[in-house]
Chains A and B, each alone.
Chain A
Amino acid sequence: MSGQMRLLLDKNIVRRYFEGVSALARGLTLVEEERRAILLVHLARGKKRRLFISVEVFNLLQVHGRRVSPAETLMFLKRVEVLYPGRYFKRWARRLRETGFTREDAKVLALGTFGTDAAGAVLGAQVVVTYDRPMMMRKWALERSELQERLARMTEAMDDPFGRARLPDVLYPEEIT
């Protein structure tokens, strides 16, 4: 199970999922982003992908989702896991903040490198899936090579598994194969 590709969903993907399922339940037509978010989540298991969300998004859904959108919350949470901050998460998130990422984006991207599952059996996710075009997507593309070097310098003397930490790809749902 741990060898499956791990996808970390950002808040915008989660929002689109909820809007889409709520619309479907009422017989409304979906916009493309909603449709893709739903397919991404509901086909993941059959495609051997593990889906993760941050602790912050999990808590948001536990408090608000269960109250106002209980069916959608149940459907979503049974298909995703939480990716917890692992060791060195804070150090890397700080460096991402210094590069100009928002706190939310820095934390999501740092989870993609130093996040772990409930058992501590994985490190990072291969992909952060987002709809956040201006900030995360473009900035990540611009900064990636420099960040890769900074990460390599930071982890070169670290013990396993941290010495093998990698940057995630940042992709749209339709780019997930």
Chain B
Amino acid sequence: MSEAMVLEEQKGLWIEERLLRQAQLGQRLQVMVGQREIRILPAGTIPARLPYGVSVDEAQTVLREVRDEAIALYGGHPPPADQPYFGGVTWREYQALSDEERQALWDKLYAEFDVEIEATEEQDVRSDALAAG
């Protein structure tokens, strides 16, 4: 995710060893071929269950639609990496954060809107409201 490059296809695709090491993929690789996409993953990361039990193909279709929807909303171009992102950092800087750091950042944002339980305003609920069962 931290490095992007263009490789030329010549009866196959050669990926340098240093790049594979840099990606920390391990010794055994799993190659997933989709439409306009080939993913190389560590062998141990076989796709797990997906929400609603959808297939990998269905998931890829949905993700393509999501990507198209996002890019269309951004005017037809991917948003720039130096665009401000959550927590006062740029998207590029956010990408460099660990998962723990990202969570801490969101916890801090959430705290701005958190209120004491006693200060919470309770809404009316209809007597015929449908209870979760």
Chain A positions within 8 Å of B133 at CB level: 126, 164, 166
Q: Which of B53, B66, B74, B128 has the most CB of A within 10 A?
A: B66
| 1/0 contact string of B82-98 vs chain A (CB within 8 Å) | 01111000010000000
Distance of A114 Cα from B117 Cα, bound (Å): 13
Task: Give the nearest-CB partner of A19 in chain B.
Answer: B102
| Minimum C-beta distance from B41 to chain A (A) | 9
| 1/0 contact string of A143-176 vs chain B (CB within 8 Å) | 0000000000000000111101110100001111
Whether A120 pairs with B124 at a CB distance below 8 angstroms is yes
Chain B positions within 8 Å of A93 at CB level: 117, 120
| Minimum C-beta distance from A152 to chain B (A) | 14
Using A39-B52, A87-B124, A160-B128 as known contacts, say yes or no to A68 and B84 having CB atoms under 8 A apart.
Answer: yes
Distance of A70 Cα from B115 Cα, bound (Å): 25
| Minimum C-beta distance from B3 to chain A (A) | 11
Whether B70 pairs with A75 at a CB distance below 8 angstroms is yes
Residue from the list B52, B54, B78 in contact with A25, Cβ < 8 A? B78
Q: Does A81 contact B (CB under 8 A)?
A: no
Chain A: number of interface residues, binned into ranges: 35 or more
| Minimum C-beta distance from A127 to chain B (A) | 9
Residue from the list A11, A42, A160 in contact with B127, Cβ < 8 A? A160
Whether B130 pairs with A122 at a CB distance below 8 angstroms is yes
B positions within 8 Å CB-CB of A: 1, 39, 45, 47-54, 59, 62-63, 65-67, 69-71, 73-74, 78-79, 81, 83-86, 91, 102-103, 106, 109-110, 112-118, 120-133
Closest CB pairs A-B (n = 10): A71-B73, A124-B132, A164-B131, A25-B70, A174-B49, A86-B125, A24-B67, A59-B113, A40-B51, A84-B123
A positions within 8 Å CB-CB of B: 2-3, 6, 11-12, 15, 18-19, 21-30, 32, 35-36, 38-40, 42-43, 47, 55-57, 59-60, 63-65, 67-72, 74-75, 84-90, 93-94, 97, 103-104, 106-107, 112-114, 116, 119-126, 159-162, 164-166, 168, 173-177
